[in-house]
Amino acid sequence: MKNSRIIAILLAAGSSKRMGQKKITLPLGNSTIGSFGLRKFINSKIDHVFVVTKEDDSLNWISKDLFQKPYKDSWTHVPCTSANKGQSYSLKCGLTQALKTKPLGIMILLADQPFLSIQTINEIHQIYLKRVSQNSTIPFLAASFQGVPRPPIILSPNTIPDLFMLNGDEGARAIIRNHTNFEGLLVEFENQWDFFDIDTKEAYEVAKRYEHKGN
């Protein structure tokens, strides 16, 4: 593992209730929804990615080449025994591992946002490092679309105690909701596809058409 600065937690343990089947395993391009995104995250400036899944996940949705060098050293599988209890438990499993690297920031990524661009990830990464150098107490830095905070979000280690207080399906958004003043904490982006969630069969069909056009 590299000298850790910004570590990512990829939440891939969702129940996919709205989809009706495990969405990260569904085909997209020449891989799957989950692997499509993971490949981008590995190729970004993030130092390491912790992939949090249910305990019994076979990882057959991850492209085979990502298990080999040079990719395999860029991510770690984190099977979470309590993932069925809700997203907050998956998040805590990832945080427990990520904190061992003593990171400067922890980026939260979602496995069902495959079109999040490397450029967007790297821009948030760069801005966070700059803001931290100016103000080490910054609690987080989040992407924003049309004025609404959205993943990805980079959390300062200072916020971690609050995250371990979360329950059920609460995620990092619960931390954001505790702040009424977002000045300096949001980075506005204009590409809606960065934040496109594949939560339903209809959204999946839209995603396949978008990817087929070469995006």
Other CB atoms within 10 Å distance of the CB of residue 54: 17
Q: Could you tell me if residue 106 is inside a domain?
A: yes
Q: What letter represents residue 115's amino acid?
A: F
Using DSSP's 3-state secondary structure scheme, residue 91 falls into: helix
- What is the pTM (predicted TM-score) of this model? 0.89
The whole domain housing 59 covers 6-210
Q: Which two tokens stand for residue 174?
A: 């619960």
pLDDT tens-digit profile of 59-92? 999 999 999 999 999 999 999 998 888 888 898 9
Q: Could you tell me if residue 183 is inside a domain?
A: yes
Q: Could you tell me if residue 169 is inside a domain?
A: yes
- What was the pLDDT predicted at 3? 44
Tally of residues, the chain: 215
Note the helical H segments in 66-200: 87-98, 118-134, 160-163, 173-177
Q: Could you tell me if residue 172 is inside a domain?
A: yes
Contact 34, 75 (CB under 8 A): no
> Which CATH number covers residue 195?
3.90.550.10
Q: What letter represents residue 77's amino acid?
A: H
Kindly calculate the radius of gyration of the chain based on its CA atoms and give it in whole angstroms: 16
pLDDT tens-digit profile of 189-201? 999 999 999 989 9
Query: Any idea what the Cα angle at residue 43 is, between residues 41 and 47, rounded to 5°?
Result: 75
pLDDT tens-digit profile of 11-29? 999 766 666 568 899 999 9
Query: Looking at per-residue confidence, does 83 or 213 come out higher?
Result: 83
Q: Could you tell me if residue 1 is inside a domain?
A: no
For the chain, what is the mean pLDDT? 87
Confidence label for 51 from pLDDT (cuts 50, 70 and 90): very high
Q: Structurally, how many domains does the chain consist of? A: 1
pLDDT at 4 over 60: no
- What was the pLDDT predicted at 19? 66
pLDDT tens-digit profile of 176-192? 666 655 666 889 999 99
